[in-house]
Structure 1
Amino acid sequence: MHDVTSAYGLWGYALVNAAVFIIFAFSFAKPKTARDWRSFGAFSAFLVALFAEMYGFPLTIYMLSGWLQSRFPGVDWFSHDAGHLLEMMFGWKTNPHFGPFHVLSYALIGAGFWLTAAAWRSLYDAQRTGQLATAGAYASMRHPQYVGFVLVLLGFLIQWPTLLTLAMFPMLVVMYVRLSRSEEREALAQFGDAYREYMHRVPAFVPRWAALTGHPAAPV
């Protein structure tokens, strides 16, 4: 038997961590419309599921314990550090909090929150004047806030993968793509040719290399 009370069952930690990150994300995203709240609600559900396994009940570890123990017999899979599955499975001989996957996850989470905040500032300035948002992050991609959310979710998924969040992640990506398409239909109805030109010039989700490097694309 494994005593997991010291590593898990910490529902207070799960609640506090989920609340902190949800409030932090709210301060960046500032949802206003029903669509904004739907997007933010799905993002929050992912975080709740993540921290419930990270500190509450390690469902993924229990379900995969037989396979994990047979493939990686030297790991105590019911210790808290073992929840960093990628670090454990690749056998990095270091504290998992300083392993390469954990560092990558922090970079993605930080980039996602930064992008969401930068996008909101540009969008807010444009909405105040009733104009199309094309400055700041919107100069490189048409939906930077959704890209920011996906980066944050991907960062957490790399840091602490679980079966539930692995299942939720692609569904959330599809949801954000559909929400972006709905937004674009509304923008076309409101701004017409101006938005069509913007769509032609700026990618939806992945910036062009020229935009990232600051070098204008060569004329066609």
Structure 2
Amino acid sequence: MHGTELGGYAYGMWPVVVFNILLFLFFTVSFIKPKKKIEWRSMGAFLGFLVALFTEMYGFPLTIYFLSTWLGDAYPVLDPFSHPSGHLVLVFLGLAHSGAAMMILHLISNGIIFFGGYLIFKGWMLIHGAKEGQLVTEGLYAHIRHPQYSGLFLITIGFLIQWPSFTTLIMWPILMFTYYRLAMREEKGLEEEFGDEFFRYRERVPAFIPKLGGK
């Protein structure tokens, strides 16, 4: 399988795949710090998402291969395996080789990814800066109960915007459910530890998405 003269085959960059997977995994594990078995299973789901994402982005474009095979001459670009033609939404909008469209897309997706990373980092700072045995309800935790998981969700949404594929679109709801279940299980432990204090906190603060217009 080879690209055309217009762009060339822009995949098979396996060192880049491995580097990106390890980079984002290291960042996430550093600040979310899984300890229990269910936390490691949830992190495994995130790792699977990263592997699928970066494999299709730099390694082997399975989604593009299938689509170009199924559609044949109807596929809307002549060089489907060049990187400018790798973004499916831009391809089907006829904007695959629009530098402005690609720049806007990367600004939006990278902004979402970096904001998600900020939530993960800031949530970690608040938790580890709190006194032992204290329920953290200040800062980000005054607006959402699980800012770190919200940050993780935003990172994955940013990547879906940046590089959609069949595999990541299938895995994303599974990943979201996995972390939702983990968050609810963690709250059971907080109920036992803090009792009424946590019940009152949960009643006024949403889990993942802040209330519009503040409290």
Q: Same-fold call, TM > 0.5?
A: yes
- Higher alpha-carbon deviation: 16-25 or 150-159: 16-25
1:55 equivalent in alignment to 2:63: no
Partner residue in 2 for 1:84: 87
* Residue 160 (structure 1) aligned with residue 163 (structure 2): yes
The sequence identity of aligned pairs, in percent, is 46
Q: TM-score, normalised by structure 1?
A: 0.86
Give the whole-Å Cα distance in 2 for the aligned partners of 1:103 and 1:67: 32
Residue 94 (structure 1) shift: 2.1
**Residues 112 and 150, structure 1, Cα contact 8 Å, conserved in 2:** yes
Stretch of structure 1 that moved more, 193-202 or 97-106: 97-106
- Matched with 1:2 is 2
| Residues 71 and 115 of structure 1, relative CA distance in 2, 3 Å threshold | farther
One-letter amino acid of the counterpart of residue 194, structure 2: F
Aligned position for 2:107? 103
Task: Label 1:166 to 1:3 Cα distance change in 2 as closer, same or farther (>3 A).
Answer: same
Cα pair distance change 1:60/1:115, threshold 3 Å: same
Q: Which structure is richer in relative contact order (CA contacts within 8 A, separation 6 or more)? A: 2
Instruction: Count residues with an aligned counterpart.
Output: 211
How far off is 1:100 after superposition? 2.8
The change in CA–CA distance for 1:12 and 1:96 in structure 2 (over 3 A counts) is: farther
Match of 1:39 in 2: 42
Kept in 2: contact 1:87–1:101 (CA 8 A): no
Unmatched 5+ stretches in structure 1? 212-216
TM-score, normalisation: structure 2: 0.88
CA-to-aligned-CA distance 1:66-110 (integer Å, 9 cap, x gap): 455555434421112222112222223523784333222111101
> Would you say 1:130 and 2:133 are equivalent positions?
yes
